[in-house]
Structure 1
Amino acid sequence: MYHKEKSIQIKNSASALYNNLSVLRIAPRSITYFTVVHANTVSIISASWDGLNYSHRQLQSKEPNVATSTSLIMQAAWCILRSRELLVLTSQKGIQMYEADGSIMVYWHALEAPETPTAQAVFARGIAAVKENYVCVGLSSGGILVFDIPSKGDNIILCEMLEEHKESVTDMASECSGSQECIADMVSADDSGTLCVWKSGEESQLLNKITGFDMGCSSVKLWKGTVVAGYGTGQIRLYEAVTGILHAEVNAHARWIYSLDIAPFSGLLLSAAEDSFVRVWHLALTPESNSMEISHMYNECVTDTQICGAKFCDGDGYAFAVTGYDLGEIIRYTQT
């Protein structure tokens, strides 16, 4: 179903972080951007679709009044809003927002350091673009910051703080099917496996809280009103977002799932884990039972690699890319 393409070399390897790959497709210019996090650096690679041209840019974690920061970056992801695209970086010190190509930093939000040292680390992790103009970012405290993004410029406003999670946020996602009738438009996950389902707006509303089972949920997606969650057990669970009804549970991987992605136009689901396997599944809504079903389509073993990032490169799932811990390349696959 898929075959391996020529890999893209990166200047640094990938750190062992959840969801350590982000992809932005720029169709008018026939290029695709990739980001990979390594320690306190983000590598941005621009690749032309013909495979002939590549360019590299590196961003460092920032701190106020410090020339060079050793603050570890936890995640980098593109947020596609109605009128602009931003590259958002989260670290142990704060949140940075850049123009899509990484050329200009438009916003910096410092995290509040605790007054007394605590055993728990302070960081931001989990990034989602919601509706037309909001970017949501999770925190190690369990809080979620909601930023109102203008159509241009740097007048970004922190407009809300959502406090439902009791553990560190691991990942967040917004509804990616493009359907307007979906009530729930954002889901967040934490280290305990708890999922919070939200309806966003000027004041976000908690629609449902799906209790975890003391195993971290490392990656989460939302598609056609269904929450797709990947866990440390190697399981994938499908929940109806608003009611929390469990539609399906799959023992998908032998080890910790690090990344999930959905191709919204085709319903293909990508899962990648520590067990060196990346798998493609198909999601389909059955009208009779009004429940989401999952079926296995394809798997690929990336030998001797702890996979930490996997993303489709387009909305149909025609191609996908994979990163691995300590691997100095992005491996790409396309449909045959």
Structure 2
Amino acid sequence: MYHKEKSIQIKNSASALYNNLSVLRIAPRQLTYFTVVHANVVNMVSASWDGLNYSHRQLQSKEPNVATSTSLIMQAAFCVLPSRELLVLTSQKGIQMYESDGSIMVYWHALDTPETPTEQAVFARGISAVWENYICVGVSSGAILVFDIPSKGSNITLSEVLEEHNQSVTDMASECSGSQECIANLVTADDGGNLCVWKSGEEFQLLNKIPGFDMSCSSVKLWKGTVVAGYGTGQIRLYEAVTGILHAEVNAHARWIYSLDIAPFSGLLLSAAEDSLVRVWHLSMTPETNTVEVAHLHNECVTDTQICGAKFCDGDGYAFAVTGYDLSEIIRYIQS
């Protein structure tokens, strides 16, 4: 179903972090941006669709008034809002927001660090754009910071802090376009596997809390009112977002799942794990019974590689890209 394309070389190898790949498709310019985190650097590649031109940029973990920073970056993710696109970096010190091409930093938010050191590490992780003008970021305390994003400029404000998780946030995802009336449009996950389902608005409203089973939920997605969650057990679970009803449980991988992604137009689901496997599934809704079915479509084995990031390169799932720990390349696959 998929075959391997020419890989994209990157300046540094990928760190062993959850969801360590972000992809942004720039259709008018026929470009795709890729970002991969390595220690305190984000490697950014701009690739032309014909595969002939590549340009590289590296973003450092910056801090105000500090010349160099050794603060480790935890995640980099593109956030697409109706009025603008931003690249968001989270680290042990704070949250940075850049224009999508990485050229200009438009906002910096410092994390609250305790005056006396504690055993609890301080970091931000879990990033999602939420319709129509919010970007949400999780932190190690379990709080979720909600930023109000203007259509242009740097007048970004912290509008709300959501405090439902009591363990470190691992990942979050949103769904919705303005044409749809979504009941639930944000799901957040933590180290205990607990999931919180939210509805955004002037104030964010907690709709449901789906309890975990003491196994970290490392990656989460939201599709047509269904939460798709990947766990350290190698399992994928599908829940109805608003009620928390379990639709399906799939023993998808033999090792820890590091990344999930969904192609929203086709219902294809990508899962990638420490077992060196990337799997493609198909999700289908049955409106009569309000259930979701999962079918396995494709396997790719990236030999001797601990996979740490996997993303579709388009909304149909025509192509996807993969990163692996200590690998200085982005491996691409395209439908045959």
TM range (shorter): over 0.9
Task: Find the aligned partners of 1:275 and 1:158 in 2 and give their Cα distance.
Answer: 39
Distance in 2, Cα, partners of 1:161 & 1:266: 34
Cα offset, 1:115, TM superposition = 2.0
- Once residues 253 and 12 of structure 2 are traced to their aligned partners in structure 1, the CA distance between those partners, rounded to angstroms, is 27
Contact 1:276 1:301 in 2 (8 A): yes
Distance 1:168 1:180 in 2: 31
Equivalent residue for 2:310?
A: 310
Deviation of residue 117 (structure 1)? 1.1
- Whether 1:271 and 2:253 are equivalent positions in the alignment is no
Paired residues of 1:285 and 1:292 also in contact (CA < 8 A)? yes
Q: Which residue of 2 aligns with 1:325?
A: 325
Give the aligned partner of residue 5 of structure 2.
5
Q: Distance in 2 between matches of 1:222 and 1:166?
A: 22
What's the counterpart of residue 92 of structure 2?
92
- In 1: Cα distance, 2:115 partner to 2:213 partner: 32
| Aligned counterparts of 1:189 and 1:238: Cα–Cα separation in 2 | 14
Unaligned ranges ≥5, structure 2: none
The Cα shift of 1:181 comes to 2.7
Quote the offset at 1:132 in angstroms. Answer: 1.4
CA deviations 1:1-56 (Å, max 9, x no partner) are 00000000000000000000000000000010000000000011000000000000
Calculate percent identity across the aligned residue pairs.
Answer: 87
Contact kept, 8 Å, 1:177 with 1:223, in 2: the verdict is no
Contact 2:131/2:177 (<8 A) preserved: no
Contact 1:177-1:265 within 8 A present in 2 as well:
no
CA contact (8 A) 1:191 1:217 kept: yes
**Mapping 1:147-296, distance limit 5 Å:** 147-175=147-175, 180-296=180-296
Tell me which moved more, 62-71 or 131-140: 62-71
Q: Distance in 2 between matches of 1:202 and 1:116?
A: 35
- Tell me, yes or no, if the aligned pair for 1:13 and 1:326 is still in contact at 8 Å: yes
After superposition, the Cα gap between the structure-2 partners of 1:85 and 1:250, relative to the gap in structure 1 and judged at 3 Å, is: same
Q: Using the alignment, how far apart are the partners of 1:64 and 1:178 within structure 2?
A: 36
In structure 1, the gaps of 5 or more residues are: none
8 Å CA contact 1:177, 1:224 repeated in 2: no
Q: How many angstroms apart in 1 are the aligned matches of 2:136 and 2:164?
A: 14
16-25 vs 56-65, greater mean Cα deviation: 56-65
Corresponding residue number in structure 1 for 2:76: 76
Q: How many angstroms does 1:179 deviate by?
A: 6.3
Q: Counterpart of 2:16 in structure 1: which amino acid? A: A
Indicate the residue corresponding to 1:125 in structure 2.
125
Distance 1:179 1:251 in 2: 35
Distance in 1, matches of 2:178 and 2:285, equals 15
- For residue 311 of structure 1, report the CA deviation from its aligned partner: 0.1
Q: Aligned letter for 1:37?
A: V
Check conservation: 1:218, 1:258, Cα contact below 8 A. yes
Q: 1:104 — aligned with what?
A: 104
Corresponding position of 1:25:
25
Shift of the 176–8 alpha-carbon distance from structure 1 to 2, 3 Å rule, reads: farther
In the TM superposition, residue 176 of structure 1 has moved relative to its aligned partner by 5.2
- Contact 1:218/1:259, CA 8 A, preserved across alignment: yes
State how far apart, in whole Å, the 2-side matches of 1:94 and 1:139 are. Answer: 9
Q: Is the 8 A contact 2:186 2:199 kept in 1?
A: yes
Instruction: Quote the Cα distance in structure 1 between the aligned partners of 2:243 and 2:205.
Output: 15
SS in 1 for 2:76: strand
- Normalised by the size of structure 1, how large is the TM-score? 0.99
Q: Which amino acid is the alignment partner of residue 239 of structure 1?
A: Y
SS at match of 1:55: strand
Amino acid at match of 1:253: H
Partners of 1:227 and 1:177 lie apart in 2 by 17
Partner amino acid, structure 1, of 2:128: A
CA deviation string 1:132-151 (max 9, x = no partner):
11000000000000000000
Q: Is the 8 A contact 1:179 1:224 kept in 2?
A: no
Question: Cα deviation per residue 1:99-155 (whole Å; 9 max; x = unaligned)?
Answer: 000000000000011122110100000000000110000000000000000000000
Count of residues paired in the alignment: 336
SS in structure 2 of the partner of residue 180 of structure 1: coil
Aligned equivalents of 2:38 and 2:10: distance in 1? 10
How far, CA to CA, are the matches of 2:50 and 2:275 in structure 1?
A: 32
TM-score for the superposition, normalised by structure 2 = 0.99
Distance change >3 Å, CA 179–CA 270, structure 1 → 2? farther
How far apart are the structure 2 equivalents of 1:287 and 1:187? Answer: 22
Secondary structure, in 3 states, of the residue corresponding to 2:28?
Answer: helix
Q: Is the 8 A contact 1:22 1:34 kept in 2?
A: yes
Q: CA deviation at 1:177?
A: 7.2
Which amino acid letter does the alignment assign opposite residue 287 of structure 1?
Answer: P
Indicate yes or no: 2:62 matched with 1:44. Answer: no
